[in-house]
Amino acid sequence: MCLAIPGKIESIEQQEPLKMARVSFNGMIKEICIEWVPEAKVGEYVIVHAGFAISVLDEKEALENLELINEMAQSPDAYHKW
């Protein structure tokens, strides 16, 4: 199973040969390639899988997804509901 997680872009920089961003995942910052979402801007949320941003997500939807992920992390039985 693949998992993609929303993160908030904190900064963007061009690093040859790829466009990279510092993305916050609940306070944990990771360097993420945003080459596939050139329209992404600082302050926006992106869906990230395996170190690559694969789509831009509006803030409301991103926060809803993060809330669901946090709920699943708190409940050991949550995985059995899927």
CATH number where 17 lies: 2.30.30.140
Give the model's pLDDT for residue 68. 87
Give the model's pLDDT for residue 72. 80
Separation between Cα atoms, residue 78 and residue 38, nearest integer Å: 35
Give the model's pLDDT for residue 81. 54
Locus of tokens 């050991």: 76
Reported as a single tens digit per residue, the pLDDT across 11-39 is 999 878 899 999 999 899 999 999 999 99
pTM exceeding 0.75? yes
Domain carrying residue 35: 5-81
- pLDDT band at 58; cut points 50, 70, 90: very high
Number of domains in the chain: 1
Q: Is the pLDDT of residue 10 over 90?
A: yes
According to DSSP, the residues that pair with 81 across neighbouring strands are none
